[in-house]
Amino acid sequence: MPHDLLLRLTAAAALCAAAVALYRLVSALVLRRAGRAVGGTSLLPPGVPGIVYFTTKDCATCKSAQRPALSALERQMDVRVIEVDAGERPDLARQWSVLSVPTTFILDRNGKPRQINHGFASARKLRVQLESVMEAAG
């Protein structure tokens, strides 16, 4: 019996590790595609980090949690938030590989996407990601 349990736990751990690896791979591919979508034109003034925030008019989480978190972050940090309604701009959502809302992309000071959040991201998480991107840029 203990051998069977150990085997099942090992299989479960392997599946979880594979899922995490797949998620990271997909996120890296989405960031690469988003970087190509941005191209040579920056959405932000030079030297300013930012967040591209995909939402829709009927997204309850966007209105009740994500938008307030982004507003708080804008008050606390020198960061620009670009809000895109994925319902009105499905072409942009497709270019950036957005499959659900809210989705946020963290852009470095050169306008290149560096991190992605599928679903709600707290102000604390976004701040950590922005600080990480700003430190990496030097």
Question: What pLDDT is recorded for position 12?
Answer: 92
Q: Which domain holds residue 18?
A: 2-137
Question: What pLDDT is recorded for position 42?
Answer: 58
Q: Domain holding 100: CATH number?
A: 3.40.30.10
What's the pTM?
0.80
Residue ranges for the chain with pLDDT beneath 70: 1, 39-44, 137-138
Over residues 103-116, the pLDDT tens digits come to 999 998 888 899 99
Question: What pLDDT is recorded for position 87?
Answer: 95
In terms of residues, how long is the chain? 138
CA angle 55, 58, 63 (to 5 degrees): 65
Question: What pLDDT is recorded for position 2?
Answer: 81
User: Are the CB atoms for 90 and 119 separated by under 8 Å?
Assistant: no
Tell me the one-letter amino acid at 54.
F
Question: What pLDDT is recorded for position 26?
Answer: 83
Number of domains making up the chain = 1
